[in-house]
C-alpha cells in the first residue's frame, strides 16, 4: 500500500482552495476514525485519501498537528451542538441534563470511531500534546452547570470546586459506559436508555424510574 501513487485529481477551479481544505479535514477525520492504529496517521496518508500531492497540504495546514487540532475542534463543536440541541426543549434542569447526557452517550455509541478520536487518546506519535483544541471543556462545562442546577433544585448548595468534581464524576461514568458498550458488544447489555437512566439516577439522586420515564418521553 505504501508504494501506491495517489490517483490524479482534477485541480480545483481558481478560488476554490477552501474546497481542498475541507476535503483534507474530512479525509483526516475519516482516517482517524477508521484506522486500526490512528496514532500512525501521516500527512502522506491524508494526501493519498484526497488524491493530491503531500506538498498541497502545506498551503492549508503547516503540519499534521495543526490538521488534527482542526479536526478535534470541529468534532467537539459537533458533539457540543448536538447536546445543546437535545437540551433545548427542556423545561427544567433535570430534563436539560438528561437531554445532554443521553445525546452524548448515543452519539458515542453510534459513532465509535469519531468518539475514539475525541476521547481515545490515540494520536500520531510525533504530535505534541494538544492543549488548545478545547479538550471537551464546553461539554464538561454544560454538564457541570446542568447537574449543579438539578442538585440545587433539590436543596443542595455546593461550592464551585464540588460542582466541578460532581460533573467530572458524571462525565467519567458516561465515558466508561460508552467505551465498554462499544468495546464489549458481546456482553448481554440492558437497553442503552436503561443504563443512561441508572447512571443519571445515581448522580442526581432522582429515582431511576423517574429518569427512565423522562428519557422515554423525550
Cβ atoms of 83 and 145 closer than 8 Å: no
What is the pLDDT at residue 14? 47
Q: Which residue has the cell 482542526?
A: 70
What pLDDT was estimated at residue 3? 46
Return the pLDDT at 7.
47
Q: What is the pLDDT of residue 2?
A: 44
Q: Which residue has the cell 477551479?
A: 13
Q: What is the mean pLDDT of each run of 10 residues along the chain (218 residues)?
A: 47 65 96 89 95 93 91 91 95 96 98 91 61 67 95 91 96 97 95 96 93 89
Tell me the CATH number for domain 72-217: 1.10.357.10
Tell me the three state secondary structure of residue 99.
helix
How does DSSP assign 151-207, residue by residue? Answer: HHHTT----HHHHHHHHHHHHHHHHHHHHHHHH-TTS-PPPHHHHHHHHHHHHH---
* SS3 readout for 18-85: HHHHHHHHHHHHHHHHHCCCHHHCCHHHHHHHHCCCHHHHHHCCCCHHHHHHHHHHHHHHHHHHHHHH
Rounded to two decimals, the pTM is: 0.86
pLDDT of residue 16: 59
For position 9, what pLDDT does the model report?
A: 45
User: What CA–CA distance (Å, rounded) separates 209 from 203?
Assistant: 14
State the pLDDT at residue 6.
45
pLDDT at 134: 55
Amino acid at each position: 500500500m505504501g508504494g501506491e501513487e495517489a490517483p490524479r485529481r482534477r485541480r480545483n477551479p481558481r478560488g476554490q482552495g477552501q474546497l481542498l481544505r475541507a476535503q483534507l479535514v474530512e479525509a483526516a477525520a475519516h482516517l482517524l476514525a477508521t484506522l486500526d492504529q490512528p496514532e500512525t496517521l501521516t500527512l502522506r496518508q491524508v494526501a493519498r485519501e484526497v488524491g493530491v500531492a503531500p506538498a498541497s497540504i502545506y498551503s492549508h495546514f503547516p503540519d499534521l498537528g495543526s490538521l488534527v487540532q482542526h479536526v478535534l475542534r470541529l468534532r467537539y463543536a459537533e458533539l457540543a451542538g448536538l447536546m445543546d440541541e437535545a437540551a433545548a426543549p427542556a423545561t427544567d434542569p433535570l430534563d436539560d441534563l438528561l437531554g445532554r447526557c443521553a445525546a452524548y452517550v448515543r452519539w458515542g455509541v453510534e459513532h465509535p470511531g469519531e468518539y475514539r478520536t475525541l476521547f481515545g487518546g490515540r494520536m500520531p506519535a510525533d504530535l505534541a500534546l494538544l492543549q488548545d483544541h478545547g479538550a471537551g471543556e464546553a461539554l464538561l462545562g454544560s454538564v457541570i452547570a446542568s447537574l449543579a442546577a438539578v442538585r440545587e433544585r433539590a436543596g443542595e448548595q455546593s461550592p464551585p470546586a464540588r460542582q466541578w468534581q460532581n460533573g467530572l464524576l458524571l462525565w467519567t461514568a458516561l465515558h466508561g459506559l460508552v467505551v465498554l458498550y462499544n468495546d464489549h458488544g458481546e456482553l448481554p447489555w440492558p437497553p442503552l436508555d436503561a443504563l443512561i437512566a441508572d447512571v443519571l439516577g445515581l448522580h442526581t439522586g432522582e429515582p431511576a424510574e423517574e429518569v427512565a420515564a423522562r428519557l422515554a418521553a423525550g
